[in-house]
Amino acid sequence: MRGQLREIELYASVLTAEKGSTPGGRRAPGFRSTSPARDEVIVARDVRSKAWGDGPDDTDTRLRSILGTLHGLSTAVREEFNRPTPPEPPTIMSEVRFLTDWCGKRAELDGFDEFAQEIRELHNLVRGLSPLADPTRTRKLGPCPEDECGGVVYAETDGNKAWCTQGHEWDRRYWAWLGRRIEEAAQHYKGETR
């Protein structure tokens, strides 16, 4: 978990909302208009973002605020161990350092599985958004096969993990199943993935 926290800090430090360069001007009919930025990165960098909706027309998503999630976990640990809240505003770096130092103590308490799962999901999300997950390190497999996910599945070229940009993850044991599901999802795919 400490390694995942350090990677969250690394991946988050290089996130950019800028899309790759595309030619300007009007597109041919039939192409849908999209944001000029990577909206999922903007959402992840906004401290107000959360994974659940407030109203009846909102849908839950795996996308969430990086800093907001880390700060929420840090606040829970501070309350549990009666640690003071620092006077300066939280940063990703400060919250990762705090959680790295205190995750061993947190492991001794009940509910650690949920705590660790939050870190795993955030790690998968940030890794999927990071430019460090580029084609020289990963291979794009296709659309995520999970129901209504909309993410893109990548696999490490030299590792044993596959993950989607919305936080789903599979180890090598499930790759045959995953391949079949991605193929099925690609056949029914109609729009852009996030």
In a domain, 33, yes or no: no
Are both 4 and 82 inside the same structural domain? yes
Shared domain check, 122 and 44: yes
Tell whether 122 and 168 lie within a shared domain. no
Query: Which residue among 112, 132, 152 closes a domain?
Result: 132
For the chain, the domain total comes to 2
Residue that finishes a domain, picked among 132, 154, 173:
132
Q: Is 128 helix (H, G, I), strand (E, B) or coil?
A: helix
For residues 112 and 175, state if they share a domain: no
Distance (Å) of CA 37 to CA 3, 32, 41: 30, 15, 8
For residues 81 and 173, membership in a common domain is answered with: no
- Inform me whether the pLDDT recorded for 109 exceeds 70: yes
- Is the pLDDT confidence value at 121 over 80? yes
Please tell me whether residues 9 and 105 are part of one structural domain. Answer: yes
Report in angstroms the alpha-carbon separations of 127 from 55, 63, 102. Answer: 29, 12, 23
Report the range of poorest mean pLDDT among 31-45, 48-62, 73-87. Answer: 48-62
Residue 177, phi then psi, degrees to nearest 5: -60, -45
- Where in the sequence is the domain holding 126, given as residue range(s)? 1-15+38-132
Q: pTM for the whole thing?
A: 0.61
Whether 6 maps to a domain, the answer reads yes
pLDDT in tens, 134-192: 555 667 777 888 877 777 787 776 666 787 777 788 877 777 787 777 777 666 655 44
Q: In this structure, is residue 121 part of a structural domain?
A: yes
Residues 121 and 70 in one domain: yes
Domain check: are 92 and 139 in the same one? no
In a domain, 24, yes or no: no
For 109-121, b/e burial (b = at least 16 CB within 10 A) is eeeeeebeebbeb
